[in-house]
Amino acid sequence: MGYCKLPSAPDYSKLEQVFIEKDPAINDYLQAMSVANKVAEDKLGEVMQLSWYDRDRDFESPQHASECHMNSAIPGYVDYALYRDASLRVVFEDERFVFFYLKI
């Protein structure tokens, strides 16, 4: 019987990534989202935010997406975005906040 091999890390090769290190640091999720939205619109034009993660509060959207990924190397919010052909990943401060966008 065959088994599916789970990847050891997400494959971001098909999307653009922007890494943001702020000095001083981003205050909170709302500030990070505002900056990420501006970056996404500047890079892609009209976009839809697909998913996000806030490590400060350990929240993700869509909610509970990681529940079925408990033993997986790929968090649910990442899998959700990649499965929906995300165009852009915006990452703050070593994945403190992460946002995925789709160009529409």
14-40 residue pLDDT tens:
999 999 998 888 999 999 999 999 999
- Strands of 16-20's sheet in order across: 16-20, 88-92, 97-103, 47-54, 59-61
For residue 68, what pLDDT band results from cuts at 50, 70 and 90? low
Residue 42 above 90 pLDDT? yes
Structure tokens at 87: 């165009």
In this predicted structure, which of 21-35, 48-62, 70-84 has the lowest mean pLDDT?
70-84
> What are the beta bridge partners of residue 47?
103
Q: Give dist(CA 13, CA 74) in Å, integer.
A: 15
CA angle at 82 for the pair 76 and 85, rounded to the nearest 5°:
145
In this predicted structure, the answer to whether residue 1 has a pLDDT above a threshold of 50 is no
Going along the chain from its start, the domains and CATH numbers come out as 16-103 (3.30.1490.340)
Which residue type sits at 51? S
pLDDT bin (cut points 50, 70, 90) of residue 88 is very high
